Structure formats: structure tokens, C-alpha cells
Amino acid sequence: MLQLRKQVAGVIREYNLFSANDKIIIGVSGGPDSTALLSLICNANRTNPPYSEIIIVHLNHSIRGRESDGDEQFVNTLAEQYGVSLITEKRDIKEIARERKVSMEEAARDERYKFFESAAKRVGANVIAVGHNADDNAETILHRIIRGAGITGISGIRPIRKLTRISTINLVRPLLFTWRKDIIAYLEEEDLSYRVDSTNVEEDKLRNRIRMELIPHLQKKYNAKIKKSLVTLGETAVQNLDYMEVKAKILFEDALINKEANAEALISADKISLDIHKLKELPQILQQMIIKEAIVRLNIPLKKLSYNNYKYILSIIHSKKIPVNNIVKKYLNVRIEENELHFSKYKYSEKPISVLSETEIKVPGEMGIDDMNYRVKTEITEINAGFLEEFKRNKTNYEEVVDFDKINIPLIVRTRRPRDKFWPLGLHGTKKIKEFFIDNKVPVMERDTVPIVTMDGQPIWIVGFRIDDRVRVSKETTNMLIMKFEKIRRNK
């Protein structure tokens, strides 16, 4: 199969998949594609190989019991035959999938690439080669169309990409333009044996049904070259997507307000702020791609958000209402302030921020509030000459004094509620707490965690900020209530 060898060599050159100085890791499952890939790369230009070293890696998924162990032994034999190093690991994918509450296919894929990356770092490899072929690409594109995909989805599989956004390791697919039938023909001509995964013929998996039922039906009834048409669709989508992504990244930098979150940072940002006026000037597809770029830089997995989530975010941009705190699928916080669109991670991989439940304050006395890691101390005392002036000089934002005779017990501490109002000390009249937070530039993500001391259901102290004017100490005050909040430092 000289023609196949030339084709694969041509793909390597055209897409610059690797060079003479590269140390290559080849993911080998023992199936026909990876077995052929190993043979083709090992036999490529023996006198002047396009790489410096090859290492085989194999992950035993433990899904098929003895079959999986047989695959590992087969790959071990391949490594001996070709005289190359082998790195293997065994993981219980079924258990991992159960723990993460994902499908076995997703768990297997995630664990496989994590293993590939760790193996590459261990040996200093900068290229990982895998055996995806043209049939895989056609099936992937059709699979995504069925599930619902935009231009990114129908772009299919790429011949080369970075393993992750910040990785220096390339993931390459030299067989991506080779059809499965040609790979099988190559193996037969070269008299090369390979393993067959029994799960590939299970009809209860959508991907298998697409390959075994849908594509043959489309070939027979509609278009004999449907797979080629799908691959061509993917190539066209890639060309359009590449152009728009380059354009969107330029426009993203132009709309970016917090420049510390620029692309040069490479690590994930905590917050992304964009100029809404500049966003609104752009076509909707570019707005969506700019939002996608923001999500990538926040290091939120794109698969966590759907097309409808993007549409929702776009609707916020064009809404006449000013949303205060929009949480998108528990992963992303979106808000608008003064014609700026702010994105921040809503701790998708961590526990959400604690929100304070209603807790009665001990008066007088001392108590802890575990919800917010605060300790509250209260003291009732008679007013003394000069006390108030000295207290004001030395107090922190988390200490206040009020007229005890104006207080109705019990006092309750909680977080804000819709339509909460109070009369800020020094102002004329009441103000919504929402407006008070905006005026005092309290970050949206922190507003639901600010303790509020209430009396008869009404706020009298926004802890850390202001008391209510109606409970302030005056010339008529005889008894005072001193309140102090202290942050509890817990050992990690």
C-alpha cells in the first residue's frame, strides 16, 4: 500500500504534524486504526525519520475484563516487535464514570487524554499521535448534527490541535483523511493482526447505530458518497470557523476592559469585563464567539454551556432591564453595570459560596455563625461621657453602636432579600439595599454574602457598611448596644 504511505506522509508534511526533532507518543489501543498508525509512522522514511523518538502508550480501561487485559498484552507485543518503549496504565473506567455521574464513553475519553498528557510530560514528548480516520470524522459530524450543533460542532475533528488551551503538547491525527476500508486493506496486505473491540458492535450506543445503521441507510437511499459529503462539510466549516475565530479574538481584545485577562496571561482569569457598546455593534455570531472566548479564559469547560445558554447571555446584553446577578447553569455569573458586561466563574468545580441563613443574635453575649464564619459579640452598656467619640475613632467597619432603647429583641442576622430597604445613617430617607450596594460598588458576587442585622424583619445594620439612622445614638440615648462581628479563621 505505497499509496497509503504517501498519503499519510503528505498529511504529515501539509499540516506540519511533527518534525525531525519531535519526540512522539502514539496512543495504541490495539485496534486497526492505531495498529496501522504505529506501522506507518515506524516505517516512514527509515533512513531519514520525521521524528526523533517514538513511545507507545496504552490505557487499559478495564471495561471488558479479560478482553481489555488481552488488548494490553497485544500492545506489549507490538512494542517488542517494533523495538519501542511502552507506557501502560490500568484504570477502572466504570467506577470513575459512576463517581463522576457521566457516561463510560466520556469517562474513558477524559481518562485516556489525561493519561496521554501525563505520559508525554514524563518522557518529555511534545506530540501525541492518535488513530482517528475519515470515517470517524464523518460519523462525528453526523452525530453532532443529530444532537444539535453549530459551526464549531460540524467542523468535526481537526488534524492538529493543542492538547489543552495552555498546553505545549500537540495532538495530531495523521490518518484523518484515510478511509477505514483503506486502513483494513493496508493491514491485510502487510499481514498485520489487530484487536477488535466487541463494544463497537453494540447497537444500544448512538454512535454505533450511526455507523452500523444510519450511514448505510443514507448511502443506499440518498447519497452513496454521504461520508465524503460530511467530511467536505466539516472542511468548509473549519475554514469559516478559523476565519471567524481570528476575527473574534481581535474584537475580544478591543472590547476587553480588564486588560489583565488578555490572551498573554494564559492562565484562567477570575473576571472578564467587556464593553457592551462595542459588542452591540457586531453581528450576533461574533458576539457569541466573543462570549465563548470569555468563557474559555475563565477556564470553564465549553461543554458545560449549551447554545440556549449563549442565547440567554445575548438576551441580557440587549435587555432594557439591568440584571443584578444572573447565574448561568451554576458555572457562570453574568451581570451588567454601567454599560459593561461582567463575567465571573461561579465556582463550577468547587462548592458554591455559603449563604447565611436566619440566625438569632444573643443579646447580650457571644456566639458563632457557622454559615459565614463569623463570631458575634454584643454588649449592653450605659452611655458615658466621651465614649461615643472614642468608639468612633477606634472602631472597625465590623463594629457598631446603636440606641438600645430603640431596639426590639430578637435581632436576626441574615443576607439580603428582594425589596429590602433601610435608612442609611446620614441620608435623608430610605434606600433599597440593592441601590445601596450599587452606590457603594459592592461586587455582585459578594452581595448575597454580606451579613445584615434585622429587627422586626427590617434591616438596621448592613455589616461592614452602615447602620440605620433610626437606631443611631443621639443626645437622648441612655443605654447602648455594642455589636461586633469578627471573622473566624478556619484551618484548611
The model's pTM: 0.66
The mean pLDDT value for 50-65 works out to 85
Confidence (pLDDT) at 444: 67
| Overall fold of domain 256-345 | 3.30.465
49 pLDDT band (50/70/90 cuts)? low
Whole-angstrom CA distances from 178 to 5, 131, 141, 155, 328 are 10, 10, 16, 17, 41
pLDDT tens-digit series, residues 113-152: 889 999 999 999 999 999 999 999 999 999 999 988 888 8
For domain 359-487, give the CATH number. 3.50.40.10
pLDDT tens-digit series, residues 153-169: 899 999 999 987 778 89
489 pLDDT band (50/70/90 cuts)? low
- Write down the mean pLDDT value for the chain: 86
- What are the cell numbers at 11? 498529511
The DSSP bridge partners found for residue 170 are: 127, 162
pLDDT greater than 60 at residue 26: yes
Name the more confident of 99 and 362: 362
CA distance 348 to 428: 42
Q: For the chain, which residues make up each domain, given as ranges?
A: 2-235, 256-345, 359-487
27 pLDDT band (50/70/90 cuts)? very high
Of 176-180, 245-249, 343-347, minimum mean pLDDT range? 343-347
pLDDT tens-digit series, residues 190-206: 999 998 876 654 555 78
3-state secondary structure of 302: helix
Q: Confirm if 450 and 397 have CB atoms less than 8 A apart.
A: no
| Amino acid found at 361 | I
Distance of CA 271 to the CA centre of its chain: 14
| Overall fold of domain 2-235 | Rossmann fold (3.40.50)
Other beta carbons within 10 Å of 402: 24
pLDDT greater than 90 at residue 172: yes
Name the more confident of 261 and 10: 10
Confidence (pLDDT) at 199: 65
261 pLDDT band (50/70/90 cuts)? low
Do 2-235 and 256-345 show the same overall fold? no
